[in-house]
């Protein structure tokens, strides 16, 4: 009997990475899920990451602590920069400097330790075209680097970075996940989610998520904060 192939899956507790985890599981991988406590303001996502990893059936869930708030530079890691609640132009202030390179590098290290040759990340070039580290050419460059930089790569065991969501719209992602039985009520997408998992309904991430459920023709299970009259 051949041993089940292992994969490292980056999970944030959000809709996208949860769908990716479901996809990797459906492809028969033994999934090792990785999250980062990186000083993000939306701490509720760490709880969600743990929740979805357990619910979907990973082998092991690891949280690596990184104090990216010590360098700041993003509305997600610097509390003095507000999360925009309206659409903005160009690369948004919620971009975290070099985040995917930092995250993928740690995923690569863990993959090498585990003897895994596959890494899954839920980047998407359709809805987040403003983020330079979500583009296919970036992923191709990282994969090439990964194969140059590791013992596994040098010894001929190719490392692949899988991005199954790259060209899907949010609605298509939700439909794909729902078909795999994902319970999106477990996930959290809001950039400023409360400790108990209530979404703001106003940030970029909330808006995209809400539109995704509308496009998918499915009910949005997100729990939103209550606003006084005139709010949501
Ligand atoms: Zn939000």
Counted domains in the chain: 1
How remote is the CA of residue 194 from the centroid of ligand 1, in Å? 10
How remote is the CA of residue 120 from the centroid of ligand 1, in Å? 25
Determine, yes or no, domain membership for 217: no
In whole angstroms, what separates CA 137 from the centre of its chain?
A: 18
Determine, yes or no, domain membership for 225: no
- What is the spatial distance between Cα 12 and Cα 177, in angstroms, rounded to a whole number? 15
Determine, yes or no, domain membership for 142: yes
How remote is the CA of residue 136 from the centroid of ligand 1, in Å? 26
Kindly report the CATH number assigned to the domain that includes residue 36. Answer: 3.40.50.620
How remote is the CA of residue 209 from the centroid of ligand 1, in Å? 9
The whole domain housing 157 covers 6-182
How remote is the CA of residue 112 from the centroid of ligand 1, in Å? 35
Determine, yes or no, domain membership for 78: yes
Determine, yes or no, domain membership for 151: yes
Determine, yes or no, domain membership for 221: no
Is pLDDT of 227 > 90? Answer: no
How remote is the CA of residue 46 from the centroid of ligand 1, in Å? 15
Neighbour-count burial for 176-208, b at 16+ CB within 10 Å, e otherwise:
bbbeeebebebbbbbbbbeeebbbbbbbbbbbb
How remote is the CA of residue 193 from the centroid of ligand 1, in Å? 6
Across 95-120, average pLDDT: 94
How remote is the CA of residue 60 from the centroid of ligand 1, in Å? 29
* C-beta neighbour count of 26 within 10 angstroms: 12
Lowest mean pLDDT among 83-87, 103-107, 190-194: 83-87
Determine, yes or no, domain membership for 228: no
Q: Within 13 Å, how many C-alpha atoms sit on residue 38's CB side?
A: 22
pLDDT tens digits, 182-194: 999 999 999 888 8
The reported pLDDT for the residue numbered 77 is 76
The reported pLDDT for the residue numbered 80 is 79
Question: Average pLDDT, whole number, for the chain?
Answer: 89
How remote is the CA of residue 47 from the centroid of ligand 1, in Å? 16
pLDDT band of 14, cuts 50, 70, 90:
very high
Lowest mean pLDDT among 114-118, 152-156, 167-171: 152-156
How remote is the CA of residue 58 from the centroid of ligand 1, in Å? 27
How remote is the CA of residue 192 from the centroid of ligand 1, in Å? 5
How remote is the CA of residue 227 from the centroid of ligand 1, in Å? 13
Tell me the whole-structure pTM to 2 decimals. 0.90
Determine, yes or no, domain membership for 104: yes
How remote is the CA of residue 204 from the centroid of ligand 1, in Å? 7
How remote is the CA of residue 64 from the centroid of ligand 1, in Å? 24
CB of 33 closer than 8 Å to CB of 50: no
Is pLDDT of 40 > 80? Answer: no
């Amino acid at each position: 009997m051949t041993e089940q192939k292992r994969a490292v899956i980056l999970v944030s507790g959000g809709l996208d990475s949860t769908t990716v985890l479901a996809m990797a599981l459906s492809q028969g991988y033994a999934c090792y899920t990785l999250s980062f406590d990186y000083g993000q303001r939306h701490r509720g996502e760490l709880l969600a990451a743990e929740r979805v990893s357990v619910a979907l059936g990973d082998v092991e869930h690891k949280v690596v602590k990184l104090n990216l708030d010590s360098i700041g530079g993003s509305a997600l890691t610097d509390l003095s920069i507000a999360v925009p609640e309206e659409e903005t132009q160009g690369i948004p202030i919620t971009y975290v400097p070099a985040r995917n390179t930092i995250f993928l590098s740690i995923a690569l290290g863990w993959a090498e330790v585990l003897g895994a040759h596959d890494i899954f990340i839920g980047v998407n070039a359709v809805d987040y075209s403003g983020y330079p580290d979500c583009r296919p050419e970036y992923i191709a460059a990282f994969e090439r680097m990964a194969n140059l930089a590791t013992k596994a790569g040098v010894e001929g065991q190719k490392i692949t970075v899988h991005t199954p969501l790259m060209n899907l719209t949010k609605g298509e992602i939700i439909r794909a996940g729902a078909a795999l039985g994902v319970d999106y009520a477990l996930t959290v997408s809001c950039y400023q989610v409360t400790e108990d998992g209530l979404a703001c309904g106003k940030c970029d991430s909330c808006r995209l998520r809400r539109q995704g459920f509308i496009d998918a023709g499915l009910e949005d299970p997100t729990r939103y904060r209550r606003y006084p009259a005139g709010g949501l």
